[in-house]
A and B are shown apart, each in its own frame.
Chain A
């Protein structure tokens, strides 16, 4: 589905990525992990064509994203959904219009059907119908994330990119969010790439993950694989998370 080959990135003196390669398979939930400032978001942004690729190659659906025609680029963009860290909802539109915008722009469906679709998705992400007419500034952080998830699911994408989808949510919401992601994957065959810090998400949701540390991949594999490895950074990372969670 996604293939990252020999990506190197540096900002001035600071080397963010040093020859990173990874592969995300179809139908899998893949995690990008790492301490803060380790370049997870930069890598994600390079994959979703927001940041320039300095060195290396990234392909999605088997196509090199640097060499896409306009048409293919549009096609790929319509086939993925992106959930930004703080939701990135359109502030001039209300919740329902935010969710329905892709359908409104890309189809000629009647408004009442688009509204029905938007309301159904709103309920799927666990929000009340009354939220529909509110504007983003009236929502809390967690609600914004759910609305943003609903929006990114509007066109039934085949890949979903999530940037810290559960940070700042309460534990029960995290659980609900995790099972929602798993359900969606099973139901719709989604491929999910997410940046996360929650141990519970790492343990229960991710099929595989990679840890970026000092610009290199410390490991790529499952949670069990990672626990077996005797590496200071990985152990530190997972153990620290465990302790946090243990509280």
Chain B
């Protein structure tokens, strides 16, 4: 019969040594019939310490070894009883392993379902837009104006600076290359055309996506968590009309304006670099654009802007409605921005191809 002395302090910060100690004792005595735990010299013990002791008590008992407890103080006995009563071990978890085929299947079904729910959300939004066209009195003009202000004014400086620099840089690089053929003057119509058709609308949309898609998701997600949306529903206030449609209409209205603003900022960048690099004056530059760049180029850029606006707003709002708990907001905000930029690229590419094929 061997004795194990539980002495000194058994507190969480000094348990590591005790574990080695008690474990070697267990290994040594795993075949004896009876052992004694002596609590005589125990000074201080906390719950971690007592649970460690209980862990080995249970281990001994499971090995059908009789454990005697000696010299335990009343306080420690009480603690021992309390924790022993509640002692629970981690249940071994049986992990279910699925085959890769199963995983692929599950994932595909989920993806299709998600895509379906996104389409149905879009369908709902368009029915509401149509409904509001027939019942214009229900349009929330104040909310729309408010959203227009919030979504457009603060990003004007960012768009101005970004597009000015992009225009500046593309014209500079292009003029340099074209100069090798002695045709650097062509840069005026070349960069202006590509700016009007592709770069300015796309970059403006990306900047709006970064700002508005994320803020829509965060705002709507927060409203969902604080149960504002549920409250509105119970009051019979339609969240599509009050929350979502105003945001979509706001972006439809501001996107062309922002694109036009971006066009002008880019043009300014080009004009400056062309003047100082090639020595072409502002009047000459404008005259050349007037002669060589048709109006349809700028119109194409402006025409796709509302489409981008719808895309950004719908994705932002949809992701916001998906939020279920407070921790989701960050996740879905990221998703909203990534998704909207991804779809902007795809939609822009399709429009670009179509417009060339159709001769716009």
A-side residues, CB < 8 A to B, are 91-92, 96, 103, 106-110, 112-113, 115-117, 119-124, 129, 132-133, 137, 153, 155-156, 183, 187-188
Q: B89: nearest residue on chain A (CB-CB)?
A: A116
| Contacting pair B51 A117 (CB below 8 A) | yes
> Which residues from chain B contact A92 at a C-beta distance below 8 Å?
327
Asked if B350 is an interface residue, CB under 8 A from chain A, the answer is no
| Contacting pair B47 A121 (CB below 8 A) | yes
> Which residues from chain B contact A108 at a C-beta distance below 8 Å?
16
| Contacting pair B82 A106 (CB below 8 A) | no
A interface majority secondary structure: helix
Q: A153: nearest residue on chain B (CB-CB)?
A: B47
Min Cβ gap B25→A in Å is 16
B-side residues, CB < 8 A to A, are 11-13, 15-16, 19, 46-48, 51-52, 54-55, 78-79, 82-83, 86-91, 93, 324-327
> Which residues from chain A contact B326 at a C-beta distance below 8 Å?
91
6 shortest interchain CB distances as A-B pairs: A156-B46, A91-B327, A119-B88, A123-B86, A137-B325, A115-B90
Min Cβ gap B57→A in Å is 12
| Contacting pair B327 A137 (CB below 8 A) | yes
> Which residues from chain A contact B52 at a C-beta distance below 8 Å?
113
Q: B81: nearest residue on chain A (CB-CB)?
A: A187
Q: A132: nearest residue on chain B (CB-CB)?
A: B90
> Which residues from chain B contact A109 at a C-beta distance below 8 Å?
12, 15-16, 19, 48
> Which residues from chain B contact A133 at a C-beta distance below 8 Å?
93
| Contacting pair A123 B88 (CB below 8 A) | yes
Q: With A92-B327, A103-B12, A109-B16 known to touch, is A116 a contact of B86 (CB < 8 Å)?
A: no
* Partner pick for B55 among A113, A121, A122, A132, CB 8 A cutoff: A113
> Which residues from chain B contact A116 at a C-beta distance below 8 Å?
51, 55, 87-90
Min Cβ gap B266→A in Å is 43
> Which residues from chain B contact A119 at a C-beta distance below 8 Å?
88-90
| Contacting pair A112 B79 (CB below 8 A) | no
Min Cβ gap B202→A in Å is 36
Q: A111: nearest residue on chain B (CB-CB)?
A: B90
> Which residues from chain B contact A121 at a C-beta distance below 8 Å?
47, 86
Min Cβ gap B310→A in Å is 32
Min Cβ gap A33→B in Å is 28
| Contacting pair A187 B78 (CB below 8 A) | yes
* Partner pick for A156 among B48, B88, B93, B327, CB 8 A cutoff: B48
* Partner pick for A110 among B19, B89, B93, CB 8 A cutoff: B19
